[in-house]
Amino acid sequence: MACLSQEISMVRGVGSVKARDFARLGLQTLEQALYDFPFRYDDLSNVLQIAEVQAGMKVTVQGRISAIENRKSSQSRRMMVTEAIVEDGSGSMKATWFHQGFLTKVLKPGVIVSLAGKVDDRYGLALVNPAYEVIGKSSTAKHTGRIVPIYRLTGALTQKSRRLVAEKAIVCVPEVAEWMPEYIKTDLRLQPLGAALREMHFPESAETKDKAIYRLKFDEFLLHQLLHAKSRRDLQKQKAPKIKFDEKEVKAAISELPFTLTGAQKKAVWAIIKDMDRTEPMNRLLEGDVGSGKTAVAALVAVNAAASGWQTSMLAPTEILAEQHAKTLERLLGNRLRIALYTRTKRRIHGKEVTKEQLLEALRNGDVDLVVGTHALLTEQVLFMRLGLIVVDEQHRFGVKQRQALKDKQGDKDGIPHLLSMTATPIPRSLALVVYGDLDRSLLDEYPAGRQPIATHIVDVGREGEAYAKMRQDMDNGRQVFVVCPLIEESDALGVQSVNEVFSSFSEGPFAGYRLAMLHGKLKTKEKDGVMRAFAAGEFDMLIATTVVEVGIDVQNATVMYVEGAERFGLAQLHQLRGRVGRGEHGSQCYLHASAMLSPMAKERLMALVNSQDGFELAEADLRLRGPGDVFGTRQSGFEEFKLGTYADIDVISKAKDFAKELLDQDMDLKQYPKLRERMMAYAQEVHFE
């Protein structure tokens, strides 16, 4: 693997500064660069003679520089303008660049260049800020005159430096082993892997690019489906404790709840209890919108397990969520369950602080019925007396190995625990049947009585005043406000405001004098937790954040959710964000602020949210309206993330699922296809599966 394993820092023209920036993107070797695909392409393949060029066209022209000079702008003495004349035999035209005075040292008269950009005719035909490259008499254009890849950037990296490394990486393609079984390639007319990788970086045409994308999407989905199907089959070979239904105990617990269970909750509890009364390990997904009562369902099945002497472990993705669950469970059924909290920094039993040693001993001795914690529970020192059930919140990539990591004193005598996964991310039914058709599902599609709908409004550009007035009114009355933005850094070309910009403009403008806090993914975990705790404790009036609040703390005092650049989000994600408010007794509002004039499609999507409070209905609408976009649009959802594929690619997923089943039916260990088996094992490591 000499070529693929070459360090990017060794590539001529990269240098130490750019190598560090590549490393910040997670790219240190040519192999990593090869699999870091462009996120979009610019079609600069329209190469025309200068005589054919017209205003408004996006074109590439190639010719000789006849003159070039720098001058100060007539509008601003501080702005440097570089103007060049390029000729190609059919005519001549002007090219203009701003703030790029160095170009006079690169594009000297007589040099043959390729220029690509949009033609402007305000002052005669001209290319404004075109992409440029010197091509000489025989060299081929890389950055113009073709479909050009656009990559992620950071620091000093430019598209040219990214393409330079990509060009070196595709030289290594012969080292990449083709692992797809030949009969699948033939059946689906898939491009060879090597050709697909080359096309992804430097496509010959739109058609070959699309074929490459299809091949690599199918690769991801086939590996994903193989892992899921194999995990399920491995699971079916395992044994789990048979936990009987204690009708008297469960009915008594239900009677003590401070609310009446919905029909959906009753069905879910019964389905889970029946699953756990078998020796086959339960593998059930409990889906329900925020506020639909998933935690109460988990608490009741934990009561049933405890009645037979079995313990329950509930894993949450963050310390704050773990604390929130523990408090809720104490409030609901603290008199029936001995509840503990175990995270990296917090150890409590029945709400009282204890030492780590005391809590570990209580788990080992069976003095705790239900422990809520983070992945700290997966460490070797945690031992249970009799662990019968694991509940995982917002993360259902949890297989045999994780279950076995949660050990009890009996070793393997009891088998592996039952598993209940919970998610507030609604999965469209059509998608669930294809992606997770082999997973048992319970839906909480009813809201508890008394939960108020959240009034949802679209706020057009320039019409923000009414929303701001409502936000001020609520804060004056002691309520709190969430503001969510899609970016952290300065606005991108789409003009969406970042957290920093919004914080600055809000604190100096319409919300001067209010207590504002800022939260985004670049903060350290401890800082994030500190801000969220302070907001939950009422120390701030407004929290301006990225989507890190989407699966987050329960702030019953928050009554307004204001989303900047709302058209950039998926409906399911907007619905999740909206669910952060309306959790208390006060009426709540959600404002969807557009960052620009809405297209008819964007308007239809946002109106779906205005007209519906049903997460499952909205997830179906998102799938229908968004097409190949990211349906879930969230890293917090617990679903696998793909490099190219999305959950909207149902047809491709369906084909992959059929082939995965066929392959495993033929040969569970894939001995006939050693290269496929090897690739599947590598993929499992890449996505941290099991």
Q: Which of 610, 602, 612 has the alpha carbon at shortest distance from 570? A: 602
Cα→Cα distances 530→353, 515, 524, Å: 19, 15, 10
Joined tokens for residue 579:
């669910």
Round to whole Å and give the CA distance between 568 and 560. 19
Q: Which of 75, 71, 51 has the alpha carbon at shortest distance from 63? A: 51
Report the pLDDT value the prediction gives residue 641, as an integer from 0 to 100: 63
CA geometry: angle 431, 435, 439, nearest 5 deg: 110
Shared domain for 421 and 481, answered yes or no, is no
Shared domain for 461 and 589, answered yes or no, is yes
pTM tops 0.85: no
Cβ–Cβ < 8 Å for 412, 399: no
DSSP lists the bridge partners of residue 370 as 312, 339
Report the pLDDT value the prediction gives residue 551, as an integer from 0 to 100: 57
Residue ending a domain, among 145, 162, 194, is 145
Joined tokens for residue 224:
């994903």
Cβ–Cβ < 8 Å for 372, 311: no
Round to whole Å and give the CA distance between 170 and 163. 10
Shared domain for 278 and 254, answered yes or no, is yes
Round to whole Å and give the CA distance between 522 and 518. 11
Shared domain for 91 and 158, answered yes or no, is no
* Environment class of 373 (CB within 10 Å of its CB; exposed 0-12, middle 13-18, buried 19+): buried
| Within-domain flag for 330 | yes
Report the pLDDT value the prediction gives residue 208, as an integer from 0 to 100: 94
Joined tokens for residue 436:
């997770």
Cβ–Cβ < 8 Å for 445, 613: no
Round to whole Å and give the CA distance between 685 and 689. 6
How many other CB atoms are there within 10 angstroms of residue 97's CB atom? 22
Shared domain for 394 and 417, answered yes or no, is yes
| Within-domain flag for 634 | no
Cα→Cα distances 638→320, 424, 579, Å: 17, 10, 17
| Within-domain flag for 227 | no
* DSSP secondary structure letter of residue 602: H
Shared domain for 505 and 568, answered yes or no, is yes
Shared domain for 251 and 397, answered yes or no, is yes
What's the pLDDT tens digit per position in 333-351? Answer: 988 999 999 998 889 998 8
Shared domain for 254 and 348, answered yes or no, is yes
What is the CATH classification number for the domain harbouring 384?
3.40.50.300
| Within-domain flag for 140 | yes
Report the pLDDT value the prediction gives residue 429, as an integer from 0 to 100: 67
| Within-domain flag for 676 | no
Show Cβ contacts of residue 314 under 8 Å, excluding neighbours closer than 6 positions: 298, 302, 322, 325, 329, 370, 371, 372, 373, 390, 391, 392, 393
Round to whole Å and give the CA distance between 145 and 150. 14
Round to whole Å and give the CA distance between 427 and 615. 9
Q: Which of 428, 366, 467 has the alpha carbon at shortest distance from 631? A: 428
CA geometry: angle 366, 367, 370, nearest 5 deg: 85
Shared domain for 533 and 547, answered yes or no, is yes
* DSSP secondary structure letter of residue 139: P
Shared domain for 508 and 580, answered yes or no, is yes
Place of tokens 């005159």: 145
As a whole number of Å, the CA-based R_g of the chain is 29
Cβ–Cβ < 8 Å for 447, 262: yes
| Within-domain flag for 536 | yes
Report the pLDDT value the prediction gives residue 287, as an integer from 0 to 100: 87
Report the pLDDT value the prediction gives residue 402, as an integer from 0 to 100: 62
DSSP lists the bridge partners of residue 285 as 421, 441
Shared domain for 335 and 463, answered yes or no, is no
What is the CATH classification number for the domain harbouring 104?
2.40.50.140
Shared domain for 156 and 101, answered yes or no, is no
Q: Which domain holds residue 494?
A: 455-612
CA geometry: angle 687, 636, 416, nearest 5 deg: 60
The secondary structure of 527-564 as a DSSP string is HHHHHHHHHHTTS-SEEEE-GGGTT----TTEEEEEEE
Sites in the chain below the pLDDT cut of 70: 1, 75-77, 137-140, 395-405, 407-412, 429-438, 449-450, 487-497, 521, 550-552, 626-641, 647, 688-690
The secondary structure of 342-385 as a DSSP string is E-SS-EEETTEE--HHHHHHHHHHT--SEEEE-GGGGSTT-EES
| Within-domain flag for 3 | yes
Show Cβ contacts of residue 674 under 8 Å, excluding neighbours closer than 6 positions: none
Alpha carbon 343 to its chain centroid, in Å, reads 25
| Within-domain flag for 582 | yes
Structural domain count of the chain: 4
Show Cβ contacts of residue 585 under 8 Å, excluding neighbours closer than 6 positions: 556
